[in-house]
Chains A and B, each alone.
Chain A
């Protein structure tokens, strides 16, 4: 009898699967575990949700309009970027 992975190990594999293809053995065990474990399915959703939200945050312009309202701690003169020699 093959034991499916415990949730702790599944969390590691879910993260790893976002970075590299898993081996056949781990892939199958992961699929079996996800089929029978609602907690780990939710973890998978959350991990993918965080990943896509991060991509959106860094790749698109949605935050820009708010930015000008907040002061910048390192603020020197506004012309500094242009005055800087190459």
Chain B
């Protein structure tokens, strides 16, 4: 009982008050692994490591404060990731943030990568193989490891736009507005990001499955 009445308080709540119910590990014990995981996610969505660290720590504070009130079915990691997602989206929506996004040469070079897929008449140079669905949990896990590597290989600004759309769930119109790029540009960036990921997954996953 006292556990619950203490848990709703501000950050001054002593650590003892945010313990898990009897017999389980304290929330503090979960924080290092949780921080690690959240950082991995945050870095895909914001380019600045210091900022990613700040947003993750803000998230961990909410996790610690609200842990005993968290009654959802979601696991700790899933719940914390949802909080982080809101923190990052809020940051993108904050009026003080610098809006312009500077595309680097690396981002622009993706255009060439996409171009090499096509013949002059607009057809594909090489046949496109079918997508291989993961057949079990282990394969899905491997696939996600590959996806993470492929996401990490995207040029920074391109990756950021992709994450704003596919993780944070921004509409393209809002991405353009928040980043100060034209709608056409936004479409092109997303198209190139998806193509690059598709090709990366194809090489690393489909090809690996085809020739074990």
List residues of A whose CB falls within 8 A of some B CB: 5-9, 11-12, 15-16, 18-20, 38-40, 42-43, 45-51, 53-64, 67-68, 70, 72, 74, 78-82, 84, 86
Secondary structure type dominating chain A contacts: helix
Is B133's beta carbon under 8 Å from chain A?
A: yes
- Using a CB-CB cutoff of 8 Å, which residues 138-178 of chain B contact chain A? 140-141, 143-144, 147-148, 151, 165-167, 171-172
Cα distance, A38 to B165, chains bound together (Å): 27
Check A74–B78 contact: CB distance below 8 A: no
Cα distance, A82 to B63, chains bound together (Å): 11
Min CB distance A81 to B, Å, is 4
Is B103's beta carbon under 8 Å from chain A?
A: no
Q: What are 17 A-B contacts defined by CB distance under 8 Å?
A: A11-B195, A15-B191, A40-B128, A42-B131, A48-B131, A50-B147, A55-B166, A55-B167, A57-B144, A60-B78, A61-B74, A64-B33, A68-B32, A78-B32, A81-B35, A81-B56, A81-B61
- The interface residues of chain A lying within 8 Å CB-to-CB of B7 are none
Secondary structure type dominating chain B contacts: helix
Cα distance, A66 to B39, chains bound together (Å): 14
Report how many residues on chain B are interfacial, defined by Cβ distance under 8 Å: 63
Min CB distance A10 to B, Å, is 9
The residue of chain B having its C-beta at the shortest distance from the C-beta of A42 within the complex is: B128
Segment from B89-97, B105-113, B197-205 that makes contact with A: B197-205
Is B194's beta carbon under 8 Å from chain A?
A: yes
- Using a CB-CB cutoff of 8 Å, which residues 76-119 of chain B contact chain A? 76-78, 81-82, 85, 118
Cα distance, A8 to B25, chains bound together (Å): 54
Is B3's beta carbon under 8 Å from chain A?
A: no
Contact flag A11-B123 (CB < 8 Å), given A46-B202, A57-B147: no
Cα distance, A85 to B194, chains bound together (Å): 40
The residue of chain B having its C-beta at the shortest distance from the C-beta of A5 within the complex is: B122
Check B15–A82 contact: CB distance below 8 A: yes
Q: Specify which of A54, A74, A81 is in contact with B49 (CB 8 Å cutoff).
A: A74
Q: Specify which of B34, B141, B165, B202 is in contact with A62 (CB 8 Å cutoff).
A: B141
Contact flag A16-B191 (CB < 8 Å), given A46-B202, A49-B201, A51-B166: yes
Cα distance, A17 to B76, chains bound together (Å): 34
Cα distance, A19 to B10, chains bound together (Å): 40
Cα distance, A39 to B128, chains bound together (Å): 5
Check A39–B57 contact: CB distance below 8 A: no
Contact flag A58-B60 (CB < 8 Å), given A7-B123, A42-B130: no
- The interface residues of chain A lying within 8 Å CB-to-CB of B20 are none
